[in-house]
Structure 1
Amino acid sequence: MLKEYLEVYRLSIVVVGNFNPVIIQPFWLAQKKLIREQEAQDAVVEIIHPSIVKFKLDWCEFEIGTERMEVRTSRDALFDALNDLVKSIFGILKETPVKAVGLNHLLYYAMPDEERYYEVGNRLGGLTNWKRLFKDPRLFILDVGEVQRSDGKMGSKRIRVAPADIPLPTPYSLLVYINDHFDLSDGVRGLQTLLKEDFAESVASASEVPGVLWEVMNATK
């Protein structure tokens, strides 16, 4: 199974809207009782600027720009905590104009050898069909999605398979990126509802993707 090669599962919640980045800082989170005082003191701050704020807590990272806010973690046991933290932030910043949210799942796999790494691309991209045009064809990016969400919600869903963009234990590493994007028509209220009602389903759906990819790969043997 593909999942036996999983090294990192990163969840990223991206909110699109209009933000004042300097509001959301470690000590602001502590002041609002969203994190512990010690967490704020231990935070690693990369930059605090009117146009961008970036910092890390022990278990998650923040990046806030004027039009985009991202909070992410690679600890799957804390995915629900990440969701609760984002909900709590916007429970305070109720008037923030927001128009979309992405629940992004990044699954990083370290394949044990070049043969199995190549076979992922071959099975998903039919590389043998390209040998009339290329001596040694390789799959760089596979990007598949739907024009309209099948669940009836506004937005889109895409799955991308590409080489990993972070260091992993082997050089034969790949990323399965699932972008679960929702357009919001009701601002923060819509965001809160979506994170409450659809977050668990997004995580559950993402967990099924490796199994489906494995079935596709084996069906093409």
Structure 2
Amino acid sequence: MIIAPEISGTSIVIVGNHNPAIFHPSWLFKHGVETEVDEELINIEVCHSELTRFSIGETFYHIDKDRFQISTVSAPWIQISDKVSMIFLEILTHTPGTAVGINRDIHFRVGSSRKRTEIGRILAPIEPWGHFGEEMNKEGGETGGMLSLSMRASEANDRYHIAKNIKIEPSVKIEGDDGIYMQANFHFSPIGEPSMADVIGVLNENFQNGINESERIFDYIMGM
């Protein structure tokens, strides 16, 4: 990417019918999904029939009855796709699945608050807002403008629908006033009554392309 992000991560969400109580670090170690690590690298927040949430090193798991989510802040990103494939194609093969999401998140600096405001003005002009827009740009006062902007592109083929959702906001994780947060979410919904194998097939077919397209979009904004 044009600017190296200060914070970066990727996640996968599998929408389906899950049993959160199954998931536990020891279960993942037993089945070879995760490599055993020292106990201090394991953090279990909750493990319950309704919700399970824990981390192993830099990999995070969040599972409720409708959603399985795995995320990491450590490249290579393909590692989480491999883990999802192992879980649902080799172990929990009968779990119902309906959709999959590929998410890429970054926080990066643009060098100054002025530059961040300029980018915001390009993406969300204040002129169409009339008097309210003038209030965002009062001389000597605090600068106002875009707080959050989301855009969507949709497409479909004979196998699945795709919703590509991009969000851009001021970063709340980078200190100062020159940070930008961007998220790319590519949501795939297989057509008909898919099996989990269909859902994972769509994931494996699109994962790397989704990451690459996300970063091309990020690069375009960084190029401003």
Partner Cα distance (1:41, 1:142) in 2 = 39
Please tell me the root mean square deviation across aligned C-alpha atoms, in Å: 2.1
Question: 1:179 is paired with a residue of what secondary structure?
Answer: strand
Is the contact made by 1:18 and 1:98 (CA closer than 8 Å) also made in structure 2?
Answer: yes
User: Given the alignment of the two structures, is residue 178 of structure 1 paired with residue 176 of structure 2, yes or no?
Assistant: no
Question: 2:155 is paired with a residue of what secondary structure?
Answer: coil
Partner Cα distance (1:207, 1:155) in 2 = 18
Query: Counterparts of 1:55-204 in structure 2 under 5 Å?
Result: 55-75=54-74, 77-91=75-89, 92-130=91-129, 132-134=131-133, 135-136=135-136, 137-146=144-153, 148-149=154-155, 153-165=160-172, 167-184=173-190, 185-204=193-212
Structure with the higher fraction of residues in helix conformation: 1
Partner Cα distance (1:85, 1:183) in 2 = 20
Unpaired runs of 5+ residues, structure 2, are 137-143
Partner Cα distance (1:104, 1:66) in 2 = 20
C-alpha deviation, 1:158, in angstroms:
1.1
Change (3 A) 1:32 1:5: closer
What TM-score comes out, normalization by structure 1 length?
0.87
1:121-179 superposed Cα distances (whole Å, 9 cap, x missing partner) = 11111234435323114011111112x326663131111111224x2243432211111
The one-letter amino acid paired with 1:156 is A
C-alpha deviation, 1:42, in angstroms:
3.5
What TM-score comes out, normalization by structure 2 length?
0.86
Partner Cα distance (1:28, 1:5) in 2 = 36
Partner Cα distance (1:127, 1:194) in 2 = 40
Identity of aligned residues (%): 23
1:57-78 superposed Cα distances (whole Å, 9 cap, x missing partner) = 1121000001111111111x22
Is the contact made by 2:100 and 2:203 (CA closer than 8 Å) also made in structure 1?
Answer: no
Query: 2:139 matched to which residue of 1?
Result: none
Partner Cα distance (2:189, 2:38) in 1 = 32
Aligned residues, how many?
212
